[in-house]
Amino acid sequence: MQFEHLAEILPYRASYAIYVRCGAVQAVPAVGEVPSILLRRKLAVRGFGVDHCIKVAEVTEGRTLSAIIEGIFQQFSSFIHSYPQC
């Protein structure tokens, strides 16, 4: 399936193929809940400002993700992108 990443017109826009298993069920975490699969991973986290440019970037363990997200949202009225770090 084709996925468009950060669809707004900004330097980080991309599209690429993603693979979805047959019968996969979409996770629906509660507001404020970090999905358990992320708690076990090392993650890169990027906070974007209202101008859609990166304002802060960190690499963190998943178990600290919630605190990182709270800190970023306290500093910026932005959005956050996180992805597994190898």
pLDDT for the residue 64: 93
Report the predicted TM-score, pTM, of the whole model to 2 decimal places.
0.73
- pLDDT average per 10 residues of sequence, the chain (86 residues): 77 83 88 88 90 88 91 83 79
Cα 15 to Cα 4, 8, 61: the distances in Å are 4, 12, 27
**Domain boundaries of the chain, sorted by first residue:** 35-86
Q: Alpha carbon 54 to chain centroid distance?
A: 13
CA distance 86 to 78: 25
pLDDT for the residue 41: 92
Helix, strand, or coil here: 8? coil
